[in-house]
Amino acid sequence: MRTGKTVDIHCRCGFLLFRYFKAGKGRLIKLIISRLSEDNVGLQNVQTFSRPLCPNCASELGIVRIIHGEPALKLNQGSIQSIRI
Ligand SMILES: [Zn+2]
């Protein structure tokens, strides 16, 4: 059985960036873009190695890379509010 839950990911400024189905436990390091259930940044169309910004405060959220064959956002831990599951 798959474990996990949907988490809200906020920028440090409080803006709701994403809702994401997080599998397993532990710290959120990366977001698989196809698994976002809500995307207020517009990651669906971004290019690999781009660095998306918070639409509200323009802080850099991380870098888009291909992880296990899928586009994913590797999070800049300093830009998001910490999430614990
Ligand atoms: Zn922000």
Confidence at residue 85, expressed as pLDDT on a 0 to 100 scale: 62
Confidence at residue 24, expressed as pLDDT on a 0 to 100 scale: 82
Give per-residue pLDDT as tens, 38-61. Answer: 999 999 888 999 999 999 999 999
**Is the pLDDT confidence value at 1 over 70?**
no
- Average pLDDT over all residues of the chain: 91
Cα separation, 68 vs 38, in Å, equals 22
Question: Exposed, middle or buried, 44 (CB in 10 Å: 0-12/13-18/19+)?
Answer: exposed
What is the distance in A from the centroid of ligand 1 to the CA of 46? 18
What is the distance in A from the centroid of ligand 1 to the CA of 22? 21
In order of 25, 56, 62, the CA distances from 4 in angstroms are 7, 28, 23
What is the distance in A from the centroid of ligand 1 to the CA of 54? 5
Domain spans of the chain, in order of start: 4-75
What is the distance in A from the centroid of ligand 1 to the CA of 39? 14
